[in-house]
Amino acid sequence: MEIETKADALRVLSDIKTEQKRLADANRDLNDNVIEKMASDLKDVQQKLAEAAAPKVETVSEKEATLRYHVKADGSLDVAGLVNDDTDRGEWHAEFKRLVDDRNFTKMLTRDGRGSDALEAKLHEHVSKAPAMIQRAFSDAAGVGSEFVPDLLLPELRKKLYVPTALEAAFPSFNMPGKECKFPFSTGAVAPFLKNAATWSAITARDDTTSQISATAQSFGARITADEDTVADSVVPALDYFRDSLTVALQAGVESAIMNGDSVDAHADLHTTASPRLWSEGGRWNTGSVASTAADHRRAFIGLRAAAFDASTGRDASTMTYADILETRSSLDGGYQAASDLLMIVSPIVMTKWLLQLTETKTLDVMGAAAGILNGSIGKIGGMDVLVSGAMTDDLSATGVYDGVTTTKTGYVICHRPSWLMGNYKPQTIDIDREITKGQIEIVGTRRCALIDMSNGAKSVAYGYNVAKS
């Protein structure tokens, strides 16, 4: 006996009554077995009727349940909010944003959006599979809803542009309230006193000596140029490449500026102002890709290497022994030497050729399970966290700068992490422009941020240079 719906239950009830009447008409006795069978059937019917009458409950994941945040009080859907939500609220939502990204990116990269029909159909189908709360809101808004999705929004690309590299993420960060931000800076410690109620009024106030630290967010830009006659069949396979190219360019540019930035005209590494981007950082950058040295991304702010030179904590570290590393560390001011607050940033060469070969880090008897011989890398040395960054290059001179002549040296930086802040100003932006005279589409990703030295020029970073790479 199959009972799936209310109609099935009513049909079974009717059959039971019919059978009772047939038996009565036939003057047959209702034995115990027959009565028991009827009672069981009636019980099943009652259960199915109760289930049919109960409200249907949609089963959704805990993440998907939070999609309700985008359903307004009147039942309508905040589509822009759903699209631009940086949080992935379940698998459906993550895929929805990716499809929106693909559809919109294709529209931008093809003439008048031609050829995006297939992606439109995919988005249409996906919307039809949305959790009930979202599907109802979509349907109420416009048909099944895909046509209601805004066009020029690239949620996944913009989200990826926020992702910092490991070096950037190593420092505390905050959202800047404006393009320029000023911090009151304390240059002297508050003097403590013993509190005595009888002489409270006689205590002399001795406040910090204060000054200001100013920071200005700088804009990093990356550009993709596409032929406006490009067809969707060519664009779709290249979407991930386009996204990754913009993302990596901005991420790598910020990381490079953190390590190698110098905002002064006489940039230590860009040794002349005659040509654009003279330093490729080991082939990382196209040396002719900017209009002038003023546009070089490394002019954004004072980076760690330049800050060490400014603080006179740059030193020849060619010995590369454990004791010599500690000597570099000792050049920091006393208040900036707590090992747990220090980060050692090394080039790949310093890690593989030097740190992994140190007696103090190499073997099991010294480092246990963290030994370099087991892991091919080390996470700590002398209590300091160790981070490998490609921005710490191996094409430097013996004096720790790029001079375009001697390109056989590398180095490392030791910095006091709490003294350095990453300031982020405004969300990353994606701008699109069509050059009708050239038949081109320009897509520019922009990120605005600042590296801020909260030590105000104290010896909070040291630079060990003249380390051989071979």
Query: What span, in angstroms and rounded, lies between the C-alpha atoms of 257 and 167?
Result: 11
Q: Is the pLDDT of residue 142 over 90?
A: no
Q: Do the domain assignments include residue 288?
A: yes
Based on the fold, state whether residues 49 and 95 are members of the same structural domain.
no
CB 194 within 8 A of CB 417: no
Distance (Å, whole) CA 398 – CA 259: 18
* Same-domain status, 144 and 257: no
336 inside domain: yes
Of 153, 168, 193, the residue at which a domain comes to its end is 153
- pLDDT tens track for 350-382: 999 999 888 877 654 455 555 554 455 688 899
Measured in degrees and rounded to the nearest 5, phi and psi for residue 440 equal -125, 155
Residue 456 included in any domain: yes
Boundary residue ending a domain (100, 125, 153): 153
The model carries a pTM of 0.74
- Return the half-sphere exposure (C-beta side, CA atoms, 13 A cut-off) of residue 366: 16
Q: Are residues 299 and 421 in the same domain?
A: yes
- Say yes or no: 37 and 98 in one domain: no
pLDDT of residue 454: 92
C-alpha distance from residue 98 to each of 93, 103, 239, 276, 420 (Å): 9, 9, 11, 37, 35
Under the banding of pLDDT at 50, 70 and 90, the label for residue 449 is: very high
pLDDT at 283 over 90: no
Note whether 36 and 102 are same-domain residues: no
Nearest to 287 by CA among 274, 301, 300, 268: 274
Does the pLDDT of residue 112 top 80, yes or no? no
**What is the amino acid identity at position 201?**
S
Q: Indicate whether 429 and 301 sit together in one domain.
A: yes
Specify the number of domains making up the chain. 3
In a domain, 353, yes or no: yes
Q: 258: which 2 tokens?
A: 């953190």
Domain span including residue 117: 78-153
Structure tokens at 35: 């009565």
Task: Decide if 392 contacts 68 (C-beta within 8 A).
Answer: no
Residue 132 lies in a domain: yes
- pLDDT of 20 reads 67
On whether both 143 and 257 belong to a single domain, the answer is: no
Instruction: Based on the fold, state whether residues 127 and 238 are members of the same structural domain.
Output: no
Beta bridge partners of 314: 463
Question: Does 197 map to a domain?
Answer: no
**pLDDT at residue number 305:** 97
CB under 8 A, 24+ apart: contacts of 247-251: 247/157, 247/160, 247/161, 247/163, 247/445, 249/222, 249/445, 250/161, 250/220, 250/221, 250/222, 250/428, 250/445, 250/447, 251/163, 251/164, 251/165, 251/168
Take residue 354 and report the two structure tokens written for it: 């030097």
What is 122-164 written as a DSSP string? HHHHHHTTS-HHHHHHHHHHSTTSGGGS-SS--HHHHHHHTPP
**DSSP state letters, 298-331:** GGSS--HHHHHHHTT-EEE-TT--HHHHHHHHHT
Phi, psi of 407, deg, nearest 5: -130, 45
Split at pLDDT 50, 70, 90, the class of 78 is confident
- 443 in a structural domain: yes
| Partners of 429 in the β-ladder | 446
Q: Where are the beta strands (DSSP E) in 126-266?
A: 173-175, 180-186, 210-216, 218-227
Same domain flag for 325 and 406: yes
25 φ/ψ sector (left φ>0, alpha ψ -120 to 50, else beta)? alpha
pLDDT band at 153, cuts 50/70/90?
A: low
Based on the domain organization, do 23 and 137 belong to the same domain? no
| Under 8 Å between Cβ of 251 and 221 | no
| pLDDT exceeds 70 at position 268 | yes
Same-domain check for residues 285 and 359: yes
Last residue of a domain, one of 153, 182, 207: 153
Asked whether residue 291 falls in the same domain as residue 399, the answer is: yes
* Mean pLDDT score of the chain: 79
pLDDT (0 to 100) of residue 1: 53
Round to whole Å and give the CA distance between 461 and 413: 7
Calculate the dihedral angle through the C-alpha atoms of 211, 176, 265, 459, rounding to the nearest 10 degrees: 50
Q: Has residue 72 been placed in a domain? A: no
